[in-house]
Amino acid sequence: MSYVQIVYSRANLRGTPLAIPRGMVSYFNIGPYANVRVELEALSPTGPYRLEVDHPAKRIVEYFNTPFDALLRHAEIESALSGGPLPQTKIN
């Protein structure tokens, strides 16, 4: 057992499972004074996945069966809000 595994297992025994991230958080700018926060979270180990977009004007929450679908939607929303080109709907 390596040092990292020992520390990790002891941390879990002491009640710090909150330190283990369950999702992904990212930010992007839509202007000099406005940021959008995006969080993707797995509600269970196999899904569904919750995508939350916190815009200064409103909050959008959507649910997806796969993380790939959620990330594609994230790209669509970011592109629409930042004025960029929309991503391809299918990636081969």
pLDDT in tens, 30-62: 888 888 899 999 998 888 999 999 988 899 999
What does R_g of the chain's alpha carbons equal in angstroms? 17
> Do residues 50 and 43 touch, judged by C-beta distance below 8 A?
yes
Cross-strand partners of 30: none
pLDDT in tens, 60-86: 999 999 989 998 998 888 888 877 776
Domain regions of the chain by residue span: 21-92
**What contacts 76, CB < 8 A, 6 or more positions away?**
86, 87
**SS3 category, 24:** strand
- DSSP E strands in 8-86: the ranges are 23-31, 34-42, 49-54, 59-64
Residue type, 12: N
